Amino acid sequence: MSSPLLELKQISVSFEGFLALRDLDLVLNKGDLRAVIGPNGAGKTTFLDVITGKVLPTKGDVIFKEKSLLGQKEFRIARKGIGRKFQSPRIFENLSVQENLALSVSRPKTPFSLLIDNLKVKHLDEIQHLMSIVNLQSKANIRAGALSHGQKQWLEIAMLVGQDPDLLLVDEPVAGLTDEETDLTADLLKSLAGDHTVLVIDHDMEFIRRLDCPVSVLHQGHVLKEGSMSEIQKDPLVIEVYLGQSEEEE
Amino acid sequence: MSIFSSKKSWIQLTIWVLIIALIIAAPTLLPVFRLNLLGRYLSLAIVALGVDLIWGFTGMLSLGQGIFFALGGYCTAMFLQLNSSEEFPNGIPEFFGLYGVEKLPFFWEPFKSSIFTLISIWLLPAIISALLGYLVFRNRIKGVYFSILTQAALLVFFNFFNGQQKLINGTNGLKTDVTQLFGQMVGSEIMQRWFFWISAVLVILAWFFARWIVRDRFGNILIGIRDDEARVRFTGYNPVIFKTIIFSIAGGLAGISGALYTVQSGIVSPQFMTVPFSIEMVVWVAVGGRGTLLGAILGAVFINYAKSLVSEALPASWMFIQGGLFILVVTALPEGVLGWFRKGGLKKLLFLIGINKKLETYPGLEVNEQGEVKS
């Protein structure tokens, strides 16, 4: 392993005095699968916002492929190879499944190319492939808004993969899914790691365990603990944070 | 040929032949006055197409399309005035004499050229809307703020044009019907007939153009911006560029529309930039069906035709009808008449008033003439 794919250095974010993140450090190597857990308000989503350029950190630096991402526009960061899945599924509900995926696999993403060029055969194959991964071939021409919640989540993951990012940021992919769907999602994410670097944020402990990967516990904008799931679960600090027995609450 | 093999293609072909025949025959079918009105309303359909592109597809409600509409009109009127001002003092348009202006203002000069005018009719509004749009979109101003901003811009332009007597005859506007083109009076019957045909053809071309824009992924990105702009951004697209382009296209269409409207109504004046007029453009699209290009065209033509018919019969009542229409669309037909129709609204209505019978949920019994149940 040469240099890491993504490196967060001493990131702090403050919203009008409130520290959402403080001195957060995190390193992801190519091909890693990493889970991030943490109680509500621990700064999980803010930390994705920083990576994807939605929020500018007050302090610190984000290094992706050895270059800083700070101050770059969201769409440029996306083009550099960072894909993001939102907490609630965000897809284009008025477009069909196929059209959704077509927008994600299109390259280059310039107005002129979208207007003049036809979608390349390579990209059409890719769309078929993506739909087969998430089992949506039979729904290719259905309006995405008519899909079930789980299918929407998968469509969004498929769109993410379609962007061909080096780094996938996946925010709560199993929220509102059935157990069976959760298991399938876990398998899907595991199969994506290796070719891609995947960072998953979630609450669902069963799901995280199934991912079987290193876990970072976020608490009050800081990495409290890193380690495997079994290590984490034994850690008294983590238990305290999670079960809410700490003194801070009162 | 294979494209004519299916029944649908034949129907389409028939419709097109019919439309073209009607356009060619219209001058003989309609009295001059009606033909002129229809021509004007067809030209308004072009600005409506632009409104549909930016509002119906991209979700940006502009209340300032009157700016670009009027600019197209002014470009045309300036050319026509210059084209027929040889006999006036100093060889410049007559109205300048009223204000003691002896030298043509510099920006009038290029409008002596017909080619420059034909290009500037659409290019000037397109450039101005692109500049205005870029500044607004770059700062991520959207929704209601965008609407207010476009309306404010409209008021700025309106007041500016109103006050510039020495440059463009201020509130009086520029007349075109007594000007000359190709040795004919612009207001003459033969010229008006040609303008009608040009308007009809340009509506069709503008419709094809708009359809081409929204046909595939470009149109899908516009819809994406309307529904979830952040998602578009995180998918790697720059929404600012897309919005600027489509706003500029709508501006260009508005310019063409304004030019055609001007020559057919005989004058361009700051009245084209009043607030109600720009809002009306939105109403046409809302009633016709936003997001359906055909709806925008039909909305513009039918509402305006209804407006003139109603105003002739019951003066002063049109505003109530228009307001009522808008309320009806907002509350009952959010997708406009055409959108409602396409979603099977007609069938539902027929059920509701009892013309069509609903399908029985169980097999109905057959009854003979005496009302007895057949065995």
Domain B33-352 has CATH 1.10.287: no
Above 70 in pLDDT, residue A248? Answer: no
Chain segment A9-58, per-residue pLDDT in tens: 888 888 887 888 888 888 888 888 889 888 877 888 888 889 988 888 88
pLDDT at B108: 87
Interface of B with A in 284-303 (CB under 8 A): none
CB-closest option in A54, A103, A118 to B224: A103
Chain-chain contact of A78 with B242 (C-beta, under 8 angstroms): no
Contact A114 B221 (CB under 8 A): yes
Q: Which residue on chain A is closest to B243 by alpha carbon? A: A111
User: Any residues with CB less than 8 A from the CB of B104 and at least 6 apart, and which?
Assistant: B82, B90, B92, B96
Which candidate, A18, A21, A38, A32, places its Cα nearest to that of A225?
Answer: A38
Contact flag A74-B217 (C-beta cutoff 8 Å): no
Q: What is the sign, positive or negative, of the torsion defined by CA atoms of A168, A169, A174, A175?
A: negative
* CB of B165 closer than 8 Å to CB of B101: no
The 10 Å Cβ neighbour count of residue A101 is 29
How many beta carbons lie within 10 A of that of residue B182, not counting itself? 9
Categorize the per-residue pLDDT at B1 as very low, low, confident or very high, splitting at 50, 70 and 90.
very low
Could you give the CA distance from residue B259 to residue B234 in angstroms, rounded to a whole number? 40
Q: Confidence band (pLDDT; 50, 70, 90) for B250?
A: very high
Mean pLDDT of B344-349: 75
The C-alpha atoms of residue A129 and residue A106 are separated, in whole angstroms, by 15
Nearest CA in chain A to B245: A111
Contacts of A73 in chain B (CB under 8 A): 233, 238
Would you call B9 an interface residue with chain A, using a CB distance cutoff of 8 Å?
no
CA distances from A49 to A67, A174, B63 (A): 18, 20, 34
Residue A164 contacts B, CB cutoff 8 Å: no
B6 pLDDT higher than 50: yes
Residue in B with minimal Cα distance to A164: B235
Cβ neighbourhood burial of B103 (10 Å; 0-12, 13-18, 19+): exposed
Chain B residues whose beta carbon lies within 8 Å of the beta carbon of residue A78: 233-236
**Eight-state DSSP code of residue B216:** S
The fraction of chain B above a pLDDT of 90, given in percent, is: 45
List of chain A residues whose C-beta atoms are within 8 Å of the C-beta of residue B242:
111
Give the nearest partner residue to B234 out of A74, A94, A95, using CB atoms.
A74
For chain B, the domains span: 1-30, 33-352
* CATH class of domain segment(s) A6-243: alpha beta
DSSP summary character for residue B93: -
Instruction: Write the single-letter amino acid at A203.
Output: H
**Is residue A246's pLDDT more than 50?**
no
In chain A, residues with a C-beta closer than 8 Å to the C-beta of B230 are: 54, 74, 90
Q: Is the separation of the CB atoms in A38 and A97 below 8 Å?
A: no
Tell whether B235 is within 8 A of chain A (Cβ). Answer: yes
Q: Calculate the CA B163 to chain-centre distance.
A: 27
What number of C-beta contacts closer than 8 Å exist between A and B? 74
Show the DSSP H helices in A134-202 as ranges.
149-162, 179-192
Winning range, highest mean pLDDT, from A206-220, A223-237, B8-22, B240-254: B240-254
The residue type of B51 is V
Chain A contact for B220 (CB, 8 A cutoff): yes
Q: Model confidence over A181-237: pLDDT tens digits?
A: 888 888 888 888 878 899 998 878 888 888 888 888 888 888 888 888 888 888 888
Question: At B107, is the secondary structure helix, strand, or coil?
Answer: helix
- Decide if A193 contacts A158 (C-beta within 8 A): no
